[in-house]
Copies of this chain bind each other. A is one copy, B any other.
Amino acid sequence: MPFIPHTEEEISQMLEVIGIDSTEALFDEIPSHLRTSGLDGIPEGMTEMEISRLMHKRASQNTDAVCFIGAGAYEHHIPAAVWQLTTRGEYYTAYTPYQAEASQGTLQLTYEFQSMMTALTDMDVSNASLYDGASALAEAVLMAIRGNRKSKSRKVLIPRTVHPTYRKTTETIVTGQNIDLLEVDYDLAAGTVQLDALKQAATDAGGDITAVVIQQPNFFGALEDIDAITDWAHENRILVISITNPLSLAVLKPPGQWGSENTGVDIACGDGQPLGAPMSCGGPYYGFLCSTSALVRQMPGRIVGRTIDVDGKEGFVLTLQAREQHIRRSKATSNICTNQGLVVTASTIHMAILGPEGLENTAAACHANTTSLVAQLTDIDGVRYAFSSPYFHEAVLVLDQPVTAVLEALAERGILGGYDLGAEYPELGNALLVCATELRSEEDINAYQAALEAALDVETRQKEIA
């Protein structure tokens, strides 16, 4: 029997010890009229050989086009060692490290992860992960509401330059708790939110704002004026929540230093995917959440602390558990229990192998490749960069033709050409968000350029014909 070790003889022995005749009797407390007759809608079992064949076929039905989509999930090189180590049974098949002494592997690794995230963000403390970047933003907002005792409004400013699904997820999650998420529009020329717009929104909302969210680089890849916004917020007792791509922090100013005096944000969150998680159809990734020490008791999720054992030897435990659902129940900082530990494991190993210089070089290469891509594509007639702001490794292009058809034409040429902004940002026209990570070679970029030229040409011609 698949995955069941019992022999007939053992089954009889066990039934005898229990004092029953058959395994059926084990279910005699279940009202018989409720019993399931059989799960006819579920196919019969397969052998590993058969499922393997099926899954290879399914996997091959997915595209293998060269990817220029970013928009919150990025294709990076992941050292081979990372997942070979991560899928070792000792990491892969352990539970949450409740029994600290039997879980020092996971616990120490998580402590190292927290150390790396605080280093990258330059924040005081980090938790052990949340589900993903979007839900981490929701938790950050809830944390800010709990943490900003000076504000009573439960109002949070969120620029439209924040990732659309992050905003939607946050909306879903905080909606039950009487919180106002106030969207703030961005500047169409700059592709960033202006301080004036934030001020105006604050005034319109009556002045008392609990927190402001800033994404850097923002959803368009453009760089926000983080220092000014941070300064303004703190002058007005507004907590600052940053969303950052953690890879970008190898070269961009870390949230812990935002503000003209490097005072830093209060809560830093984001998605850890660029640090060792494959794109994998959308998950599992992980959300990271860092904050100032002042807010540590408002943190959701697991936190690992370093301590000593009875002999004074260093060791690691889950700590500050009084914040959590299994202790505090309905008064917990969050309902989160299971997090994204394995992806954190991969990410920690990924960062250790790349090191600070490796991450810096990678981040800089992403920037350089996207710069080349934008340069080469905007060389084509009818393609222009949408904004005036500098960008990190994503940029919005505006085409003189509808994006959908162009993307289809590119896909036929083996190129996933980017993310169509039409649905979320109709005001931008035929806008396309493109990204070239360190993996995109010159050859790839040339191929994109050629394919786009051809696609636009065909489109142009078809339009002329019609």
A306 at the interface (CB under 8 A from B): no
Per assembly, the copies of the chain total: 2
A203 at the interface (CB under 8 A from B): no
Closest to A47 in B: B77
Interface residues of A in 419-466 (CB under 8 A from B): 438-439, 441
Closest to A92 in B: B84
A329 at the interface (CB under 8 A from B): no
Cα separation A79 to B438 with both chains bound (whole Å): 35
User: Contact between A48 and B88 (Cβ–Cβ < 8 Å)?
Assistant: no
A328 at the interface (CB under 8 A from B): no
User: Contact between B80 and A48 (Cβ–Cβ < 8 Å)?
Assistant: yes
Interface residues of A in 50-80 (CB under 8 A from B): 52-53, 77, 79-80
Q: Taking A53-B441, A441-B53 as contacts, is the C-beta distance between A48 and B87 under 8 angstroms?
A: no
User: Contact between A48 and B79 (Cβ–Cβ < 8 Å)?
Assistant: yes
Interface residues of A in 100-147 (CB under 8 A from B): none
Residues of B within 8 A of A439 (CB): 49
Smallest Cβ distance from A239 to chain B, in angstroms? Answer: 39
Cα separation A52 to B439 with both chains bound (whole Å): 11
Interface size class of A (residues with CB under 8 A): 10 to 19
Interface residues of A in 214-237 (CB under 8 A from B): none
Task: Specify which of B52, B77, B87 is in contact with A77 (CB 8 Å cutoff).
Answer: B52
User: Contact between A438 and B49 (Cβ–Cβ < 8 Å)?
Assistant: yes
Closest to A87 in B: B84
Residues of B within 8 A of A48 (CB): 77, 79-80
Closest to A438 in B: B49
Residues of B within 8 A of A52 (CB): 77, 80
Interface residues of A in 395-438 (CB under 8 A from B): 438
Residues of B within 8 A of A80 (CB): 48, 52
Residues of B within 8 A of A84 (CB): 87
Closest to A79 in B: B48
Smallest Cβ distance from A362 to chain B, in angstroms? Answer: 9
**How does the 8 Å CB contact mask read for A335-349 relative to B, with 1 for contact and 0 for none?**
000000000000000
Closest to A60 in B: B64
Residues of B within 8 A of A441 (CB): 53
Cα separation A267 to B267 with both chains bound (whole Å): 72
**How does the 8 Å CB contact mask read for A292-305 relative to B, with 1 for contact and 0 for none?**
00000000000000
Give 5 closest A-B pairs by Cβ, nearest first. Answer: A49-B77, A48-B79, A49-B439, A88-B88, A48-B77
Q: 12 A-B Cβ contacts within 8 A?
A: A47-B77, A48-B77, A48-B79, A48-B80, A49-B77, A49-B438, A49-B439, A52-B77, A52-B80, A53-B441, A84-B87, A88-B88
- A-side interface residues toward B, CB under 8 Å? 47-49, 52-53, 77, 79-80, 84, 87-88, 438-439, 441
Given contacts A48-B80, A88-B88, 10 further A-B contacts (CB under 8 A): A47-B77, A48-B77, A48-B79, A49-B77, A49-B438, A49-B439, A52-B77, A52-B80, A53-B441, A84-B87
